[in-house]
Amino acid sequence: MSNEFGFSIKSLRFDENYIPAENTRLTTNFANLARGESRQQNLRSTLNMINNRFNALANWDNPKGDRYSVELDIISVELNLDAARSDNALPIIEILQTTIVDHQTNQRIDGVTGNNFSSYVRDYDFSVRLLEHNKGKDSFSVPEQFGELHGNLFQAFVGSPTYKECFKKPPVICISVSTTKTYQQTENVHPILGVEYRQDDYSLTDEYFNKMGLKVRYFMPPGSVAPLAFYHTGDLLNDYSNLELISTISTMDTFQKIYRPEVYNANSVAGKSYQASLKQQDHSLTRIVYDREERSQLAIEQGKFVEESFIKPYQSLLEQWSANWSANQ
């Protein structure tokens, strides 16, 4: 076996006919939406929400609010433990690629890569390793080298020829803010990203993404009711066009309204000092069926799966690779 890891990419369109691939993580949010009797209506409604949100933000030269639509592709990343072979590939990451369709000019415009982020190894880290480390302890702590393997795998993928051949810009991951931290509104306002919030006491998720080479900024876009966390490299405000940023906001603000309506579909707007709460009663529900409890249960099951099928069998190889990769950066 060589000392090189290789990556391969598979793409699957996320539309109203979407059916999860066999190796898709069941906790992946798209897969959750695409099950049950309401699957097609779920998907159709989700895409309509994304398109409406996009046109509301991209409102210049768009008098009828129907100039643009967004296409989504689920990008599944597989890790080849030996770059010279392709028969030992393991699925590790899923992200989203957005494409903007301008119906006025008949152009197709690349949107942002990343957006949603799903990872088998993260399931293992948070749903198995972290829980076992703190079991029976009086105070919470984090295991040694927590998130380092995952972070190195992600950075190796983003720096790989495979990524660079498919995507022109680094990824931006957009997720909900922490419910354990308080965010303070600043005077900084971006025309697309909206009002910036800040907090200096970074969450465990912030630190985990930092090990992936990503820094974070928090913005509440126009029309949103709570800030979103944007994880990125480089300069978030200048490296991406307005339409690229809108592709991320419209997609992830929609998903968060479905996943966390208490926060992102609340009936009041975040104030100057804000802490998100899943106990917020004053919120509206979308008509899209999403099983949050099932997702939490499956995260534990899949974390144990990756422990047995990936972490334990290849532990020495993974540790050696991760240490060598870190030393060479």
Return the HEC string of 196-245: EEECCCCCHHHHHHHCCCCEEEEEECCCCCCCEEEEECCCCCCCCCHHHH
Q: Which of 182, 16, 219, 27 is nearest to 117 (CA)?
A: 27
Q: Where are the alpha helices (DSSP H) in 92-192?
A: 120-124, 130-134, 148-158, 161-166
Beta bridge partners of 146: none
- Name the strands in the sheet holding 89-102, side by side, starting at the edge strand that comes first in the sequence: 6-14, 68-80, 89-102, 107-119, 172-176, 228-232, 215-220, 194-198, 183-190, 273-274
Q: How many Å apart are CA 14 and CA 95, to the nearest integer?
A: 12
pLDDT, tens digit, 9 for 90 and up, residues 191-215: 999 999 999 888 999 999 999 999 9
Angstrom distance (rounded) from CA 258 to CA 162: 32
Q: Is 102 in contact with 66 (CB distance < 8 Å)?
A: no
- pLDDT above 70 (res 316): yes
Residue of 286 and 136 predicted with greater confidence: 136
Greater confidence (229 vs 278) lies with: 229
> In 3D, which of 157, 167, 164, 142 has the Cα closest to residue 212?
157
pLDDT for res 280: 86
**For 16-20, 124-128, 206-210, which range has the lowest pLDDT when averaged over its residues?**
16-20
The pLDDT tens digits of the residues spanning 149-208 come to: 999 999 999 999 999 999 999 999 999 999 999 999 999 999 999 999 999 888 999 999
What pLDDT is attached to residue 61? 97
pLDDT for 113 beyond 90: yes
Give residue 2's pLDDT. Answer: 43
Task: Output 83 or 212, whichever has higher pLDDT.
Answer: 212
- pLDDT for 309 equals 81
The Cα 260–Cα 267 span in angstroms is 13
Let me know: does 18 contact 12? Beta carbons within 8 Å: yes
Residue 211, Cβ neighbours under 10 Å: how many?
A: 17
Q: What is the pLDDT of residues 39-60, one digit of tens each?
A: 788 888 999 999 999 999 999 9
Helix (H, G, I), strand (E, B) or coil at 188: strand
- The pLDDT confidence band at residue 25, using thresholds 50, 70 and 90, is very low
Higher pLDDT, 138 or 241: 241
Q: Which residue has the higher pLDDT, 127 or 221?
A: 221
Closest CA to 130 of 141, 119, 115: 141
Contacts of 324 (CB under 8 A, 6+ apart): 3
pLDDT at 141 over 60: yes
Report d(CA 240, CA 218) in Å as an integer. Answer: 16
pLDDT digits (tens, 9 = 90+) for 241-261: 999 999 999 999 999 998 889
* Predicted model pTM: 0.92
